[in-house]
């Protein structure tokens, strides 16, 4: 049977049907995965904060920022766009080539990160200005987390590729498995309950390692048992050897997307370094506030991921008539969902914060103030995320990176640094609205007036004399890719 013809039946089609309903149904499992991930981090923070104290909580906050930086590698995101465009064009052999090349390279990069992180863990934590009382705890925690990085990245890669193929339900189920294992094992390994050893803060990291490893092995077993069309088996295992030409395309587009995450992470690390200068109490308050912000941002991130996959499939299918409506639906959902969460946080923030810290801790007052100053700005940043997801679906990746460099790395960190002399630590909290307003203005201007619509896409039928396009702006002949299947 021809690989291209049954693509609609064997992968989920995002190129037809009512856009708001299709987008929402696709986004809900992504949102569920994000909820589980954030809930996992928050519950682990409760265990650490309650059992081991504020210094240990500060240690995990610093370590988790480093982890977010490492997980920001963009190869997976670039592969997802290419896979989605290939699925939209009904070209499954091309999608498998992308999966094979990307998976091998992505895993090897993860191993390099893990090894380098293990070796230079003290240098990393010192560069953050981690408080002295939290440094030994952060070191113990982060070293085990580095061991988990390859499996965490592999699980993330498999889930994003499945979403590119239109399946958001399977990633949700296996994220749930990883979270359940992590949450259950966390207190057992921290306190040494029953047959488990007492590992302290290292137990929290070990539970993460176990949960991620079991989940990624389980999802691979299930995909092969179901004979998923994007699995690599038999002769297709040769596709795990990276194709240099295809790898150049993936890296060329993936690096700017990865740098976008690194820019956000770097800004967060810079602000954390400034926060640490005010001591463990303020650092703990900021760390907990940041935990709550992950929940606020979840709808926008989920909608952005759904918009990216849906728009990319429509780009591959040549359905440009749907792209603008996909973006508009994403912005609308973000305004409603993120706005509701911000309102709830304004009302119930003190009650939620008391879960992490004792009720008489001064850090609760600090964290409450931080939320009131900064949390509303994530509504604006959510719109930016949706607009970025739309333009990235065509392969336009440099303008979003430049916008983030300006708004997040320059405006936010500069505001926090230079205004400290005038308004003290308030500058740290107000830097978030300053960055979000800047990014929204610039992103809206690029979406409205930029040339992202002219970036090459997978065309269902190339014009006479024009080579089929790879989906990210490099014609197949010029990229020296195998002409194994046409894209029409």
Tokens of 393: 């679906």
Confidence at residue 278, expressed as pLDDT on a 0 to 100 scale:
80
pLDDT digits (tens, 9 = 90+) for 150-208: 888 888 889 988 998 889 999 999 999 999 999 899 889 988 888 888 888 888 889 98
Mean pLDDT of the region 408-436: 89
Q: What is the mean pLDDT of residues 248-276?
A: 81
What are the residues whose beta carbons fall under 8 Å from the beta carbon of 52, sequence distance 6 or more?
Answer: 137, 190, 200, 201
3-class DSSP string for 430-468: HHHHHHHHHHHHHHHHHHHHCCHHHCCCCCCCCCCCCCC
Q: What is the pLDDT of residue 473?
A: 39
- What's the pLDDT band for 71 if we cut at 50, 70, 90? low
Range with the poorest average pLDDT among 57-66, 98-107, 231-240? 57-66
Looking at the predicted structure, is the pLDDT value of residue 2 above 60? no
What is the pTM (predicted TM-score) of this model? 0.77
Tens digits of residue pLDDT in 4-58: 444 444 456 788 889 999 999 999 999 998 888 877 777 777 777 766 766 677 6
C-alpha atoms less than 13 angstroms from C-alpha of 435 in its C-beta half-sphere: 29
Percent of the chain with pLDDT over 90: 29
73 has pLDDT over 60: no
**Cβ atoms 109, 73 nearer than 8 A:** yes
Q: Give the percent of the chain with pLDDT over 70.
A: 84
Residues 413, 270: contact at Cβ < 8 Å? yes
- pLDDT per position as a tens digit, 361-416: 677 888 888 888 888 999 999 999 999 999 998 888 899 999 999 998 899 999 98
């Amino acid at each position: 049977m021809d690989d291209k013809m049954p693509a609609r039946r064997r992968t989920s089609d995002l190129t037809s049907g009512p856009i708001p309903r299709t987008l929402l149904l696709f986004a809900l499992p992504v949102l569920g995965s994000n909820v589980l991930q954030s809930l996992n981090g928050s519950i682990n923070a409760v265990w650490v904060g309650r059992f081991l104290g504020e210094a240990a909580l500060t240690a995990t906050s610093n370590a988790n920022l480093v982890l977010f930086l490492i997980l920001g590698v963009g190869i997976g995101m670039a592969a997802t766009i290419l896979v989605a465009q290939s699925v939209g064009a009904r070209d499954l052999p091309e999608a498998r080539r992308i999966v094979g090349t990307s998976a091998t390279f992505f895993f090897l990069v993860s191993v390099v990160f893990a090894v380098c992180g293990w070796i230079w863990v003290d240098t990393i934590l010192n560069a953050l200005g981690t408080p002295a009382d939290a440094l030994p705890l952060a070191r113990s925690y982060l070293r085990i987390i580095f061991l988990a990085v390859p499996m965490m990245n592999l699980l993330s890669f498999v889930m994003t590729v499945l979403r590119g193929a239109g399946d958001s339900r399977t990633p949700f189920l296996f994220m749930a498995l990883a979270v359940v294992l992590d949450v259950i094992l966390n207190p057992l390994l921290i306190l040494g309950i029953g047959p488990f050893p007492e590992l302290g803060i290292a137990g929290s990291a070990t539970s993460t390692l176990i949960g991620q490893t079991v989940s990624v092995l389980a999802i691979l077993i299930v995909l092969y048992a179901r004979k998923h069309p994007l699995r690599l088996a038999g002769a297709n295992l040769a596709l795990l050897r990276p194709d240099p030409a295809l790898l150049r395309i993936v890296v060329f587009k993936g690096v700017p997307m990865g740098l976008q995450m690194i820019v956000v992470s770097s800004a967060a690390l810079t602000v954390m370094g400034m926060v640490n200068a005010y001591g463990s109490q303020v650092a703990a308050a900021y760390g907990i506030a940041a935990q709550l912000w992950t929940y606020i941002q979840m709808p926008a991130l989920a909608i952005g991921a759904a918009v990216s996959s849906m728009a990319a499939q429509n780009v591959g299918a040549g359905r440009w008539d749907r792209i603008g409506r996909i973006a508009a639906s994403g912005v609308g959902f973000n305004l409603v969902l993120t706005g509701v969460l911000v309102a709830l946080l304004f009302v119930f923030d003190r009650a939620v914060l008391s879960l992490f810290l004792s009720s008489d801790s001064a850090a609760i007052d600090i964290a409450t103030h931080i939320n009131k100053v900064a949390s509303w700005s994530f509504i604006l940043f959510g719109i930016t995320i949706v607009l970025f997801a739309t333009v990235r679906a065509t392969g336009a990746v440099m303008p979003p990176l430049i916008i983030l460099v300006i708004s997040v790395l320059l405006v936010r960190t500069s505001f926090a640094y230079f205004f400290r002399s005038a308004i003290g630590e308030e500058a740290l909290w107000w830097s978030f609205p300053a960055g979000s307003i800047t990014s929204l203005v610039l992103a809206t201007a690029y979406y409205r007036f930029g040339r992202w619509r002219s970036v090459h896409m997978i065309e269902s039928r190339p014009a006479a004399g024009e080579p089929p396009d790879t989906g990210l702006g490099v014609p197949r002949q010029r990229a020296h890719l195998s002409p194994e299947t046409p894209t029409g």
